[in-house]
Amino acid sequence: MATIHRRTDKLPVGALLASVGGFLDAYTLTRHGVFANLQSGNVVLFCVQITSWHWRTAALRLVPVGAFIVGTLAVELLGTPRVVTLVHRPIRLVLTIQIVLLTVLAVLPGKAPAPVTTVTVAFVAALQFSTFTTLHGAPYATLMTTGNLRQCVVAVHRWLTRRDPGSALRAKLYGVVVSAFSGGALTGVICTRLFGAPAIAVAAGLLVVALALLIRESRQVERAAGEEAAST
């Protein structure tokens, strides 16, 4: 995994990103009847179509999978030493690309082909999934609830049985992330039904807020480092 994100995420950013993950899944499901974030469904449907000898339909299922692969490789490329020396703010670049692509989708005509949306969302999802992986020092995912829900349940159990303060904190963190994903999905369904294709601009707006928070955090860290250096 590329190491372009060297600092662990804080809860406000993690919650925002999780809400974006839920929103995008709800958006693509409501508009096109597919989940475009993670590719398990597309792989299964590819296998179903192959066994039914529906070659063209099977091939179409691989298009968003390919977009997800390209997005993952893009993050890996950003983490290579040669690119790191050229791109000094890779996290900001990743979020900016996500924002731009989702904004483009928001202004496309409502009759734009469904693959345009699903492929773009798959690429955006891969960028986010591959970049933001750690919350307060613990692994998490912003595009799905399964792993986060498991971690939350385990942490609650350990807190109740062992009274471990660390488990209580992890239960809170994962609980907020799971709730944020659910809230984003609910918002995605409502907004998509009300506004159609332009509703995806809401996800872009959430990413703008996440980018602003990350920029503020970076400046605080740089300011603290500068003050420490000046005092030594």
In a domain, 93, yes or no: yes
In a domain, 207, yes or no: yes
Asked whether residue 2 carries a pLDDT value surpassing 70, the answer given is: no
Asked whether residue 231 carries a pLDDT value surpassing 80, the answer given is: no
- Which residues lie below 8 Å from residue 124, measured CB to CB, with a gap of 6+? 24, 71, 97, 98, 101, 102
Domain count, the chain: 1
In a domain, 129, yes or no: yes
Token look-up 């506004």 returns: 195
Which one-letter DSSP state was computed for residue 137? Answer: T
pLDDT of residue 102: 97
As a whole number, mean pLDDT of residues 78-86 equals 84
Here the CATH number for the domain that contains residue 136 is 1.20.1250
In a domain, 1, yes or no: no
Helix, strand and coil in the chain, % to nearest 5: 80, 0, 20
In a domain, 22, yes or no: yes
In a domain, 6, yes or no: no
pLDDT digits (tens, 9 = 90+) for 93-150: 999 999 999 999 999 987 888 889 999 999 999 999 999 999 998 999 999 899 999 9
Q: What residue numbers bound the domain in which 30 lies?
A: 11-223
In a domain, 32, yes or no: yes
- Which residues lie below 8 Å from residue 14, measured CB to CB, with a gap of 6+? 132, 135, 140, 142, 173, 176, 177, 180
- The 3 state secondary structure assigned to 26-39 is HHHHHHHCCCCCCC
In a domain, 5, yes or no: no
pTM of the model: 0.90
